[in-house]
Structure 1
Amino acid sequence: MHPSANDHPIIVFDGMCVLCSANAQFVLKFDRKGVFRLAAMQSEIGADLMRQAGVDPADPDSFIIVEQDRVLRDSDAVISMWRRLGWPWKIMGVAGVVPRAIRDPLYRLIARNRYRIFGKRDTCWMPTPEQAERIL
């Protein structure tokens, strides 16, 4: 895994997906403690992390969070992200009480159709200069 994952969990997201890049911007705005680092799966680091997690970065069906030697996928990654953002967002972590057998199929349905539902960018989303230090 990437050395930064030892210090900060890394969210690997689809920078071409409107929903995914909006989520990345959401994390950058509300992660006031600077817990997370982000990497677009279109970047070399992001693609490497996706491959190491067993996800094809050219045909992703999930975003992942890499933390030390652990990889969270699908709804587990989303719930972990919410729980670590602090109040009021951490309340969304209660979704973890819903069995994974229900959460993950719903997550995958949205993930498979994300471009059709939310749209796809022509270019990868780029952070502001202030946000750039948190992007790998």
Structure 2
Amino acid sequence: MNSQTFKPEDYPVVLFDSQCLICDGFVKQVIKWDQDEALKFSGLQSTKAIYEINRRGIPMPKDGSVVLLFEDRYATESDAVIEIVEITGTSSLLSTLLRKFPKIWRDSLYRWVAQNRYRFYKKRDHCPLPEPSEAGRFV
């Protein structure tokens, strides 16, 4: 293992666009939901994230995606969101309802939001620092 890879204890790790206000808000909400601190987080622009995406051959849409990495698999787009909701134990009803919609519909809505996110909110020119109490969750 080199310094570019995540450690086994980092998984599952959520890769997100750290310049996107919608993504940042989503991560803040997930941290509130994740009382067991099961998830770790990393910006998509980080060296480790880029290395893992390339090493695993993860297909990234041109507008990016949230990626949920496990040691042996990954999920992207709406599947990643659903798995994050399930891991945090937030709402089995919500994840069940989301899974009822065909993946193509869920991912189409996800991509539409991703394509328009900077129209809704401005793009950050820097990655915000996590709260000191949350710093250990960012890898």
TM over 0.5: yes
Code of the residue aligned with 1:74 in structure 2: it is E
1:124 aligns with 127
Does the 8 Å contact 1:39/1:135 carry over to 2?
yes
The equivalent position to 1:4 in structure 2, one of 4, 7, 11, is: 7
Query: What is the one-letter code of the residue matched to 2:109?
Result: L
Q: 2:10–2:40: 8 Å Cα contact kept in structure 1?
A: no
* CA deviation map 1:57-80 (0-9, x unaligned): xx5421100112111011000111
Structure 2 alignment gaps of length 5 or more: none
Kept in 2: contact 1:14–1:41 (CA 8 A):
yes
Matched with 1:97 is: 100
How far is the alpha carbon of 1:85 from its aligned partner?
Answer: 1.2
Q: TM-score normalised to the size of structure 2?
A: 0.84
CA contact (8 A) 1:13 1:39 kept: yes
SS at match of 1:130: helix
Paired letter, 1:54: P
Residue 46, structure 1, aligned to residue 63, structure 2: no
Q: Which amino acid aligns with 2:32?
A: K
Contact persistence 1:15–1:21 (CA under 8 A)? yes
The CA deviation at 1:108 is 0.6
Task: Check the 8 A contact 2:22/2:117 in 1, yes or no.
Answer: yes
Q: CA deviation at 1:3?
A: 4.2
Report how far residue 5 of structure 1 moved. Answer: 5.1
Identity, % of aligned positions: 29
Whether contact under 8 Å (1:6, 1:67) holds in the other structure is no
2:80 to 77, 84, 88: 77
Amino acid at match of 2:87: R
* TM value normalised by structure 1: 0.86
